[in-house]
Amino acid sequence: MNDQLDLKSTEKASFKLAAYADGINDLNLGLILVLLGFFPLTRSAFGPSFNSLFFILALSGISIALMQVRKRLTPSRIGLVKFGPSSRKRLKVALLITTFTLAFTAILWGMAGQNYFISSPSWLSSYGIDIFFALVILGIFGTMAYSLNVGRYYLYGVLFSAAMILQALTPEGTYEGIPMLSAGVIITAIGAYLLFRFLKDFPALDESQEVN
């Protein structure tokens, strides 16, 4: 019984190390929020249609580039970690939740910016949409933080949600992307620190040391 518990604890520790210790997910989220902070500028520059295409390409480019960085860095430092079924399932669920949340929020946020919800009640068209999105994001990140045991996701949920609310309350004459930019910069800085610490704590292994 104790051996099974030890194996589960070891698997969970390996899962967290391989999936979250390098800060790549944090950098991905942070850079996406930074990009969303520039949404008002790109919307004005490209128009609605080209702006959507730009964001799809940019978001895909960021994710693909960071995944390539992970593929090059992680195996050469901690080896190739093979997860059990439960860990693989948690990783897939976390990835799907993160991707869906960011895509869904970006699309609906863009629609709100183009006055697609102009026919809704005045209180809803003014702040209700932002409050709803903020609560959904807060709940999703809280669920991820709890289920994956990654405490900093609570902070990310608060930052992301607060940025949406503050953006809605931004007074005229002030650039409305500042709250999202600020949240993105903070998360990106955390991700950069985690990546730096990962590289420092786990120097590159010799080929004979890598686990296949």
In a domain, 151, yes or no: yes
Domain assignment present for 1: no
In a domain, 122, yes or no: yes
> What Cα–Cα distance (Å) separates residue 118 from each residue in 49, 122, 176?
19, 8, 19
Q: What's residue 43's pLDDT?
A: 78
pLDDT score at 171: 77
Which pLDDT score, from 0 to 100, does residue 183 have?
A: 95
Q: Tens place of pLDDT for every residue, the chain, 212 residues?
A: 444 444 455 555 555 555 567 888 899 999 999 988 888 888 788 877 788 788 888 888 888 888 888 777 776 555 555 556 666 676 667 667 666 766 666 666 666 555 555 555 555 555 667 777 788 888 888 887 887 788 899 999 999 999 988 887 877 777 888 999 999 999 999 999 998 888 888 777 665 554 44
CA–CA distance, 189 with 195 (Å, rounded to integer): 10
- Residue 166 counted as domain residue: yes
16 domain residue, yes or no: yes
Is residue 32 within 8 A of residue 62, CB to CB? The reply is yes
Say if 77 falls within a structural domain: yes
Give residue 3's pLDDT: 47
Instruction: Compute the distance between CA of residue 94 and CA of residue 106 in angstroms, rounded to an integer.
Output: 18
Residue 95 lies in a domain: yes
60 located within any domain: yes
CA distance 179 to 38: 11
Q: What is the domain range of residue 157?
A: 10-206
Alpha carbons 49 and 110: distance in angstroms, whole number: 11
Residue 193: the pLDDT is 93
In degrees and rounded to multiples of 5, residue 126 shows phi and psi of -80, -55
In three-state secondary structure terms, 131 is: helix
Radius of gyration of the chain (CA): 19
pTM: 0.70
Q: Note the pLDDT of residue 158.
A: 95
Q: How many domains does the chain have?
A: 1
